[in-house]
Amino acid sequence: MKNKPLTDRKLLEKYAKLYNTKEKYLEAVSNLPTISSILKSNSKMAKLTLEGYWVYFNDLSYGEKMGNNAETFVQGYVIRNMRK
């Protein structure tokens, strides 16, 4: 049986809506078994991916979301922020 990918959109969206701050969201999602193992192997990229989902679900307007799907937005977010 395959593991669910890190980008299981519905699960990440659910967690993003449950927590008021990005820090609480990251803490809660980081404790999920699949994600905690990914964080151990590639911490910076995994954290940026989770942050990207937070931004997509909580900070973007409806119009901004219509121009991008979550995965495309997060991929761009990670690429832009990996260089920092």
| pLDDT tens sequence across 34-65 | 888 888 888 888 899 999 999 999 999 998 88
pLDDT exceeds cutoff 80 at 6: no
pLDDT reported for residue 15: 92
Q: What is the pTM of this model?
A: 0.82
Residues 6+ apart with CB under 8 A from 47: 26, 39
Confirm if 60 and 69 have CB atoms less than 8 A apart: no
Domain map of the chain by residue range? 9-82
Residues 6+ apart with CB under 8 A from 12: 29, 50, 53, 57
pLDDT reported for residue 1: 39
pLDDT exceeds cutoff 80 at 75: yes
Q: CA separation (Å) from 81 to 45, 47, 66, 74, 84?
A: 9, 11, 22, 10, 5
